[in-house]
Chain A
Amino acid sequence: MTRDRQPPAPPPSARAVDDGTAGPFPEAGDRPLCGPSGEPDFAAIQASPEFARLRRRLRLFVFPMTALFLCWYLTFALFSAYGNEFMRRKVTGEINVGTLFGLAQFLTTITIVVTYARFAKKRLDPQTDRIHELVRADAEAGRK
């Protein structure tokens, strides 16, 4: 069983193909992703480069986005509490800055929802599927 995988970081670990146990360099991330009886080896998966990529992608999207919308929302809340002068300024007819600011929160929220859904579908789901495949392949190899 050989598997195509992007070359892991050197040094290449001494991976024994038929040996189901963890290799001598667990941190190298190139040991079988399943134990001898086919159950997933979580530490190995966690150390694998594919998983690291998934985690990085997720965190790079989710954490900045959370910070962004929280700041944007808190700006709105702080202005509502302390920026009365600004918020009551009329923009058109009876509609003032405060009302528009609130409605803008509606728009940004739904935009982030849609953006994340598309991002997850395009960038996260395929990567998750890939990890599932690798684990499945190793489970089959382990049984042989």
Chain B
Amino acid sequence: MKVLIAAGTTGSPALNVSIFVVFVCITLFVVYRASGSSPTASDYYAAGSGFSGMQNGIALSGDFLSAASFLGISGAIAVHGYDGFLYSVGWLVAWLIALLLIGERLRNTGRFTVGDVMAFRMKQRPVRAAAANATLVITFFYMLAQMAGAGGLIALLLNVHSKGGQALVITGVGVVMVFYVLVGGMKGTTWVQIIKATLLLLCVTFISVFILGKFGFSLSGLLEKAAQNSPLGERLLEPGGWYGRNAMTKLDFVSLSLSLVLGIASLPHVLMRFYTVPNAKEARRSVVWCSWSMFTFYLGILIVGYSATALVGSEKILNAPGGENSAAPLLAFRIGGTVLLGVVSAVAFATILAVVAGLTLAASASFAHDVYANVLRHGKADPRSEIRVARLTAIVVGFLAIIGGIVANGQNVAFLVSLALALAASANLSTMLYSLYWKRFNTTGTLWSIYGGLVSGLVLIAFSPAISGSPTSIVQGVDFHWFPLTNPGIVSIPLSFLCGYLGTVLSKHPADPDKQAEMEVRALTGIGAKL
């Protein structure tokens, strides 16, 4: 019976694949057209800062409308109900931090990477090395989540159930992604994001309006049907369906919400997007555009999630290959047949491809610009060799992503992303806020807050039930967990702020007032910020 359901829900693999191939061909063509003959470092990392606020805003939302949002959140809402909804609220509210505190100031201060801002008025080499370490770790976690989504999606859409077959497809996806990055750099990657985000927004808006129409535009009617079709019943619509079991899981929920709201504006690949626009005003405009598309998307995903329960049923979703992550594709199949399923899955694939390309670019920029050019070559690297290193790094990162995708499978991707967000908020947020707004903040404080947040986050995750000792943890069979929460945010984020403060006041080397003046003036006015 289960096999029948699985076979019935995959639609037509040939159609799915051909729609996806058409997408890849179009984007490859765009990437090829967008790439110049001999890109400079600014072209490769920041698309020559030539995008408009609107373009970058849509690409920015594309970076965030990842497999985690589309598949993970719609699945979480479909299966866990209200607690899944919290993800979408957190991810929308989070853009306010980017808008109010970080975006414009970052654009004015840095050039290519997060390390540019963190190291601006500090000792270059140790801070850049720390910033690059944080970027690489965060990006790796985030990438793992995206590739885990790819595995589930392949199982569902291509009817590939053998591990070897899935691995082969993941490898294919990884190779195309690396190709995007190598050929197109930031410009190509941004165009892919714009195309994909537009498709995804149209898709979700279309599905949700269509379904609401089916229920006579009554949200209440939809919710009622969803509750009937879920083993949770009425509790689907109430908080606590996922995290409500006991005091510890409730605390976990709070920790999660904190990571969601503070993590987004700290993700290296999101921050790097602010460099693709010419000035701070355009950076602001991009966040405004991004917020609007997030607003639309997450309202839509709320409908998509609940209607997946209402029309498909959570039992069937959980039993499908890909589990929770298959809610949106199954819903598409239910309402639009094989064609809509093909379109939705192609868009979901495209999403994974585009986001992983963005992550690869962020990681390679961080390694080439911060580690190679500034730490190893003391800031005297030849730009051509810097780009060569960046491209080599992209290949290595792409390889790691493929391996990671093959190894990590089956976890809810939204949950994996929340771990990456906790790390990002712990390592980057405190450091950037202090660096931008606190005069006394110095090199020691910077290092303490980056490493304090990063290391505490990593240690707490390693010894959390996410890794061992629970039925859903990644390592099965052994139990070495002692930290009770799956999400470390509630401890590691405040800890990084505390470390930054202590490091600063205990240090014997005060901040450099001249560099501080330069950074503050530049951050607020853009004076001295050359392209």
Please list the residues of chain A having a beta carbon within 8 angstroms of any beta carbon in chain B: 40, 42-43, 45-46, 51, 54-55, 58-59, 62, 65-66, 69-70, 73-74, 76-84, 87-88, 92-96, 98-99, 102, 105-106, 109-110, 112-114, 116-117, 120, 125, 128, 131-132, 135
Contacts and interface: CB of A to CB of B under 8 A. Distances in A.
A69 B97 CA distance: 10
B44 interface: no
Contacts of A80: 82-83, 86, 239-240, 253, 257
B526 interface: yes
Contact of A93 (B221, B295, B298): B221
22 contacts: A43-B513, A51-B521, A54-B524, A62-B101, A69-B93, A69-B96, A74-B257, A77-B257, A77-B258, A80-B253, A82-B250, A93-B219, A94-B221, A94-B227, A95-B219, A98-B237, A98-B239, A99-B223, A105-B89, A106-B89, A112-B100, A128-B526
Given A45-B517, A51-B525, A110-B291, A88 B239 contact: yes
A105 B92 contact: yes
Given A92-B220, A93-B224, A110-B295, A99 B100 contact: no
Given A73-B261, A109-B295, A45 B239 contact: no
Given A94-B221, A99-B223, 5 more contacts: A45-B521, A59-B437, A88-B238, A95-B220, A113-B96
B298 to A, nearest CB: 7
Contacts of B298: 106
Contacts of B227: 94
A96 B81 CA distance: 13
B525 A66 contact: no
Given A99-B82, A102-B89, A81 B224 contact: no
The DSSP consensus for interface residues of chain B is helix
A128 to B, nearest CB: 5
Nearest to A48: B521
A64 to B, nearest CB: 10
B172 interface: no
A40 B526 CA distance: 11
A80 to B, nearest CB: 4
B527 A135 contact: yes
B254 A81 contact: yes
B99 interface: yes
Contacts, number: 156
Given A65-B100, A66-B96, A117-B288, A77 B218 contact: no
Contacts of A106: 89, 92, 295, 298-299
Interface string B285-301: 10110011001001100
A73 B93 contact: yes
B85 interface: yes
A81 B237 contact: no
A85 to B, nearest CB: 10
A42 B525 CA distance: 11
Given A106-B92, A110-B291, A42 B528 contact: yes
B33 to A, nearest CB: 33
Contacts of A66: 96-97, 100-101
Interface string B23-47: 0000000000000000000000000
Residue among A88, A109, A117 with most chain B CB within 10 A: A109
A20 B55 CA distance: 43
Contact of A112 (B96, B221, B244): B96
B239 A87 contact: yes
B287 to A, nearest CB: 7
Residue among B100, B218, B243, B521 with most chain A CB within 10 A: B521
Contacts of A96: 237-238
Contacts of A40: 521, 527-528
A14 B527 CA distance: 26
